[in-house]
Amino acid sequence: MTDTHVISLPERFDFSFHGPFTSGYQDVIDSAQIKHIILDFSRVAYLDSSALGMMVLMQKRATAAGIKASIRGAKGTAQDILNMANMHKIYGLI
């Protein structure tokens, strides 16, 4: 059984995805079997500040639980926004 969990993000990563996102990663953290959470940005075309806030919160909680968090497949505007918000400093890039 793999200890990596991939969260696939929608095309528009904003507040509307708050519920599924939070409950999704909270379950993974609570399960205590996963050591690595990967956020898959390959579909994301837009993200707003709430998405960035959710990511910061998730990173904090994952780190507190000893789980590594990474970003995968970011491109275009999404990548620009992630870089601007210094997400590459708190997340590992794959």
Partner 1 sequence: MLKRKLVVSDGLMLIGCVGISLTLEWQGLGYLGIAVLTLGMLSWLFFRGLRADGEGVEPAQSVLFESRNHQLQALASELVPALKSCEASLLDIISTQTDAVSLLRHSFDQLQGLMQRQSQCIHSLLVSSDGSAEFNSSRMHDFAVNTGLMLDRFIATTVDMSASSMDLLEKVNKIYDAMPQVMKALKDIDEIASQTNLLALNAAIEAARAGDAGRGFAVVADEVRALSTRSAQFSEAIQKQLTTISTQIEALTEDVGKVASQDVSYVIEAKKEIQTALDMIVTKADEDNLTTKSLDGIAHELEEALHNAIRGLQFDDINGQNLQFNASLLKFTHEHLRDLDEADLSTLASELHSYLDKTRVNRQTHKNPVSSTTIQAGEVELF
Looking at the Cβ atoms of 72 and 90, the one nearer to partner 1 is 90
Q: What single letter denotes the amino acid at residue 75?
A: K
Residues 56-75 that bind partner 1 (CB under 8 A): 56-57, 60
Residues 5-24 that bind partner 1 (CB under 8 A): 14-15, 18, 22
Site track for partner 1 across 26-45, x = CB under 8 A:
--------------------
Do 91 and 70 contact (CB within 8 A), yes or no?
yes
How far apart, in whole angstroms, are the C-alpha atoms of residue 32 and residue 65?
8
- In angstroms, what is the minimal distance from the CB of 66 to partner 1? 20
Where are the strands (E) in 1-94, listed by range?
Answer: 4-8, 12-13, 36-40, 46-47, 68-72, 92-93
State the DSSP H helix or E strand holding residue 77, giving kind and residue range, or none if neither: helix 76-84
- Site for partner 1, rule CB under 8 A: 14-15, 18, 22, 46, 48-50, 52-54, 56-57, 60, 77, 80-81, 84-86
